[in-house]
Amino acid sequence: MPTNNVLPPPLPDWFPRGAALLRDPTLNKGTAFTPAEREALGLRGLLPPQVGTQDLQANRVLENIRRLQTPLSKYILLEALQDRNEALFFRVITDNPDEMMPIIYTPTVGLACQQFGHIYRRPRGMYITANDRGQIAHVMRNWPYRQARMIVVTDGERILGLGDLGANGMGIPIGKLSLYTACAGLHPRYCLPVMLDVGTNNQALLEDPLYIGIRQQRLSGAALDEIVEEFVTAAQQVFPGIVVQFEDFANHNAFRLLRKYRDRVCCFNDDIQGTASVTVAGIFSALRVTKKRMAEQTFLCLGAGEAATGICDLLSAAMVADGLTPDEARARCWMVDSKGLVVANRTDLAEHKKAYAHPHEPAADFLGAVRALKPTAIIGVGATPGLFTREVIEEMTRLNERPIVFALSNPTSKSECTAAQAYEWSGGKALFASGSPFLPVDFAGKHFVPRQGNNSYIFPGVGLGVVSVRSTRVTDEMFMAAARTLAEHTSDADLAQGSLYPPLNGVRAVSAHIAAAVAEIAYRDGYATLERPDDLLEFMRAQMYDPRYTSYV
C-alpha cells in the first residue's frame, strides 16, 4: 500500500512530465516543486519562479477560504483545490478538521448536492447510467487507478434528509471518500466514487437545463435490481475484492440490497450500520455519566427508516451483551414514524419495522410516545425538524435525572432541536449529540461543547481496517467493535464539558484504533486474507496516507 502521495525515486516510466504532471491532482505539488524537480520533470517556465512550501500554500488556501462569506462558496473553493492538488487539499482538511469537515461534508454537502449541476466544474468519480446495461464492466475499466479498494455508491434517491436528487447526489460519494482519506488515511487512489444514475422522480431537476443526470423517471423494482446486480458483479471483476459501501439508497431498497449482498461480497451500508455504530458509541459515553447499565435503558427513535433500524439492531446487540435475551433487548427499542408509535397491531408496517413493533396502545405523536414509554434516551433520525419540542425535552427531564437527547438528522435544517434548546429546556441536564455541528453553549454558568454523532468517526476506520487486511466481509460485530473503541477514546474531560465524542482533531488516531479493532474481528472470524502482522495498531498506522509532500528526485 502506498503511504504517501507519490512513489519514491526512481520514478517509473509512466510518471507524467511537464503540463501533464501539473494537471494530475494526485501528483501535482504546484509552486512547491523544487528547482531540481522542475528541471528533471520538464516544469521550468510552467510555474512562477518563487518556490513555496506546502505550509505556505496551506496558509494561502486558508486565507482565501476565510475571506469567503458562504459555506457553499467555501465548498466550491475546496472542491477546486481537490481537483488540482489532492495532497494540499488533504493537508488543509487534516490540519483544520473542525473548520473544514462541515464544509466538505455535512451540513454543506447537502446544499452542494442540491446545486450540484450549477456548481459543476470538473468530473470526479464514475457515472454509471441505466443506458450502460450490459457494458458496466467495460465502463468501469475506464477508471485510471487500478488499485481502487473502496467504492462508495449511491443512486441519489434519498440524499441526507433532502430526498431524490438524482445524479446530483454524486456529492455524497465524493464527500464520503474525502473523509476516508482525511479521517483514516485511506490513500486517495484507493477511493472510487460511483453515481448509479437510474433516473430521478424529482421533476424540478428533470426540468433544470443544468441538471447533469439522465432525464428519465427513476428505475425501480426488477429494472433497478438488474442494474445493481451488474454493477456489483462488474466491480468485483474489475477490482477484485473491492469494498462496496451503499450510500443514501431509499429505505425500500437499502435493507434489501444489504441483505442480498452482505454475504456475497465485502459490502456495507453506512446509513444503517455506520449510523448505528456512532450512535451506540455516544450511548456508551452517556452511560458513563448516568452510571446506568445498557440493559436498563429504554430507547425511542423518532424515525423508523434505515438509521433507526440499524441503531435499534446494534443497541439490541449491546443489551444482549449486557445480559438481556434478544427478545428482551428488542422490547426496549421503540420507533415513531409519520403515523405515530410503531406498534404490533398496525397493518401498514414495512418489513424492517416489524421487529420493533411491540404490543402497546397507539400514540399519535412523539410527545405522547415519550409520556407512555418513559424512555431514557430519544434519538432523532427522521429528518423532520423541530420535533424535539420544549414539551418533549421537559418531559424527558422530568423522567430522567440526565436525559439522553440525540438530534441526529442532517443537514442542520433537519435537526430535531438545537444544542442550545436541548440545554435550556432541560436546565443543563441533557446529554446531547447532534448530526450536524453546533457551536458551544453557555448556560447557567456552564460551558457546554456539544459534538456531532457523525459517521466520520466510524466508517473511515472501519474501511481502513477492512481494506488493510483484505477482509472478505464487513460484519455487524466490526461495527460494534468500532463503537466500543470510539467510546473508549472519549475522555473524562470530554464528558465533563458535555462532549460524548472525542475532538475531531484526533480522529485519525482514533481511526487507527478502530481499524485495528475491526481487523481483530476479521482475523478472529476468518475473513482476513493477509498474514496477520505482529502489531495490528502499528500496522494500521503504517498504512495511513500522509498528505505531506515528498521529493520526486
CB distance 515 to 465 below 8 Å: yes
Report pLDDT for 410. Answer: 83
Residue 35 has pLDDT above 70, yes or no: yes
Which tens digit of pLDDT belongs to each residue from 483-498?
999 999 999 999 999 9
Q: What confidence tier does 1 reach under pLDDT thresholds 50, 70, 90? A: very low
pLDDT digits (tens, 9 = 90+) for 525-548: 999 999 999 999 999 999 999 999
> Strand, helix or coil at 338?
coil
**C-alpha distances in angstroms, 152 versus 102, 258, 515?**
19, 14, 18
Q: Which residues contact 325 (CB under 8 A, 6 or more apart)?
A: none
User: pLDDT band for position 12 (50/70/90)?
Assistant: confident
Q: Is-contact 109 95, C-beta < 8 A?
A: no
Residue 8 has pLDDT above 60, yes or no: no
Residues 120-138 have pLDDT tens digits of: 999 999 999 999 999 999 9
The set of cell numbers assigned to 281 is 458509541
Distance in angstroms (rounded) separating the CA atoms of residues 295 and 405: 18
Residue 405, H or E segment: strand 404-407
Q: What is the mean pLDDT of residues 346-372?
A: 94
Q: Would you please indicate which residues are annotated as catalytic (active-site) residues? A: 105, 176
Q: What is each CA distance from 180 to 241, 456, 512, in whole angstroms?
A: 18, 8, 12
Secondary structure (3-state) at 296: helix
* pLDDT digits 0-9 by tens, 162-220: 999 999 999 999 999 999 999 999 999 999 999 999 999 999 999 999 999 999 999 99
What value does the mean pLDDT of the chain take? 95
At the top level of CATH, the class of 18-102 is mainly alpha
pTM over 0.85: yes
Q: How confident is the model at residue 7 (pLDDT cuts 50, 70, 90)?
A: low
Which residue, chain included where needed, has cell 479493532? 517
For residues 305-314, average pLDDT = 95
Check if CATH label 3.40.50.10380 holds for domain 121-265: yes
Q: Would you say the CATH fold of 457-543 matches that of 121-265?
A: yes
pLDDT at 411 over 90: no
User: How would DSSP label each residue in 300-313?
Assistant: EEE--SHHHHHHHH
Q: Check pLDDT > 90 for residue 252.
A: no
**Which percentage of the chain shows pLDDT scores above 70?**
98
- Mean pLDDT within 97-103: 93
CA distance 120 to 97: 24
The ranges assigned to domains in the chain are 18-102, 121-265, 457-543
pLDDT in tens, 462-481: 999 999 999 999 999 999 99
Domain 457-543 fold: Rossmann fold (3.40.50)
User: Could you give the CA distance from residue 494 to residue 500 in angstroms, rounded to a whole number?
Assistant: 7
**CA angle, residues 529, 534, 535, in degrees to nearest 5:** 100
- Side chain identity at residue 405, one-letter code: V
How much is the pLDDT for 4? Answer: 53
The distance between the two most distant Cα atoms of the chain, rounded to a whole number of Å, is 78
Residue 97 banded pLDDT, cuts 50, 70, 90: very high
Give the DSSP per-residue string, 416-473: SS-HHHHHHHTTT--EEEESS----EEETTEEE--EE--GGGTHHHHHHHHHHTT-S-
pLDDT of amino acid 210? 98
What would the mean pLDDT of 317-330 be, rounded to a whole number?
98
